[in-house]
Amino acid sequence: MRVSVIGCGYLGAVHAAAMAQLGHDVVGVDMDAVKLAALTRGEAPFFEPGLPELLVEASSTGRLRFTDDISAAKGATVHFIAVGTPQLKGSNAADLQYVDAAIEQLLPHLTAGDVVVGKSTVPVGTAARLAARIAEHGSGAVLAWNPEFLREGFAVKDSLAPDRIVFGLPPEPAGAAIAEAALRGVYAAALAAETPLVITNYSTAELVKVAANAFLATKISFINAMAEIAEVTGADATELADAIGLDGRIGRRFLGAGVGFGGGCLPKDIRGFMARAEELGRGESVAFLKEVDAINLRRRQRVIDHVVDLLDHEPFGKTVAVLGLAFKPHSDDVRDSPALDVAVRLKGLGAEVRATDPQAIENARRQHPQLDYRTSFEETVRGADVVVLVTEWDEYRYLDPEVVGALVSGRNIVDGRNSYDPARWRAAGWTYRGLGRP
């Protein structure tokens, strides 16, 4: 099938390459010249495991190209909208300007039978509004909503072999039939592999995405709330998570207590959900998300408090080694990253912060040029008074406390991801502080 993908960021670039790999003829459209140049050379414009290989392979088929010219979308049957919906400045709501602009720019190139497919995460009600705009234009194109659940770091796998597919179809049967047929064509390979498919209406499809992310955020903040209780009772939140996670109804995944969630999705999606629920007169239904957000942000402060405590409440001029800057391992994304936030705030307290990350230094430097970034792990920790683990890259998870101990000035460690065995570090003479651990 001929497919266009509007927006080639973390979502669209991977989606475009995956679509080409699955046999479709794909054009990716984006405004960012640097991104386009990289993609056209078959290079990934950001760090995503497996994406460089996928781009090379997909480009070599001749079925994948990238352009800044939206008219290249003309002739495609399916047009994916994969632009960002960041948090609006000074508000919890999502900024829909890129989605609206993508639709407006696409309209003149649509013809009857085309299907515009929303993938961006949007406030519930957006699809109905966009469908009305497309109908008003009179091309005869229809809109479907097809939320994307890919995780950064696993985006290639999640795009080629998703764990579920959701089609949000238009209310009119004729339009729904056109949209469903096109989407079944696009996802033929995944559907043949018996990937579960949920066919529903626009609102449900939009809500599936925010509800899933709200649930995941709540799960993380739940265990972090338990960590706060553990901290005043001597309980251990990681053992608690192991024990409750054994209940099949609860499950151990996303019960990792630590410095909390960040990234381009969970934080802004729960805030956008709260803002939209308020508009709908149902603010109280998701009011708990305010606590979810607050618990999450408190964990960053807890890490900082541990560091300051280990520095005898005199952080000024002391050296702190921060391990990790990305919001999670296997990503170079620093959007709303707890790690970067902790590093910047420690620097604000007067500490000499040295920060490192296997992939995210460049992105972090762009946002916070004032920090001292080191590419070498040894240089980061040498002479440090406190070491702080904030992003649990494998490079940091399997450290030998004796080896690191020989480099630092003070054997003090704050384990912001509860990644280490406290007994092992303490046996090597370290003062160990985890989150929600005695």
Q: Residues 54, 81, 110, 220: which binds ligand UDX (CB under 6 A)?
A: 220
Query: What tokens does 46 get?
Result: 């950001």
Q: Residue 261 in contact with residue 267, Cβ under 8 Å?
A: yes
* DSSP-assigned letters across all residues of 240-287: HHHHHHTSTTT-STT---SS---SSSHHHHHHHHHHHHHHTT-GGGGT
Q: Radius of gyration of the chain from Cα atoms?
A: 23
Q: From the CB of 46, what's the least distance to ligand UDX, in Å?
A: 12
Q: What is the number of other CB atoms lying within 10 angstroms of the CB of residue 319?
A: 21
341 binds ligand UDX (CB under 6 A): no
DSSP for 316-362, written as a single string: TT-EEEEE--SSSTT----TT-HHHHHHHHHHHTT-EEEEE-SS-HH
Q: How many CA atoms lie within 13 A of 12 on its CB side?
A: 34
With CB under 6 A as the contact rule, the residue among 268, 271, 306, 328 that binds ligand UDX is 328
Report the residue number whose CB is nearest to ligand UDX. Answer: 256
Tokens matching residue 103: 């639709």
At CA 246, angle to CA 240 and CA 250, rounded to 5? Answer: 85
Q: How far apart are CA 271 and CA 287, in angstroms?
A: 10
Judged by CB under 6 A, does residue 334 bind ligand UDX? no
Pattern of binders to ligand UDX over 84-123, x per CB under 6 A? ----------------------------------------
Indicate which single residue of 39, 93, 255, 310 sits in contact with ligand UDX (rule: CB under 6 A): 255
Out of 265, 277, 326, 342, the active site residue is 265
From 2, 151, 298, 365, residue interacting with ligand UDX (rule: CB under 6 A): 151
Task: Show the CA angle centred on residue 115, arms to residues 110 and 119, nearest 5°.
Answer: 115
Judged by CB under 6 A, the stretch of 25-33, 93-101, 149-157, 166-174 that binds ligand UDX is: 149-157
In the complex, minimum distance from the CB of residue 164 to ligand UDX, in angstroms, rounded to a whole number: 11
Please count the residues of this chain forming the interface with ligand UDX, following the rule CB under 6 A. Answer: 20
Quick check: is 265 catalytic? yes
Closest by Cα among 102, 104, 92, 101 to 4: 102
Q: d(Cα 323, Cα 208) in Å, to the nearest integer?
A: 34
Residue 150 is a binding residue for ligand UDX (CB under 6 A): yes
Residue 261 binds ligand UDX, judged by CB under 6 A: yes
- Is 263 a residue that touches ligand UDX (CB under 6 A)? yes
- Segment interacting with ligand UDX (CB under 6 A) among 61-69, 108-116, 142-150, 167-175: 142-150
Q: Output the smallest distance, CB 167 to ligand UDX, in A.
A: 17
Among all residues, which ones are annotated catalytic? 265
Residues lying near ligand UDX in the complex (CB under 6 A) are found at 148-152, 213, 216, 220, 254-256, 258, 260-263, 265-266, 327-328
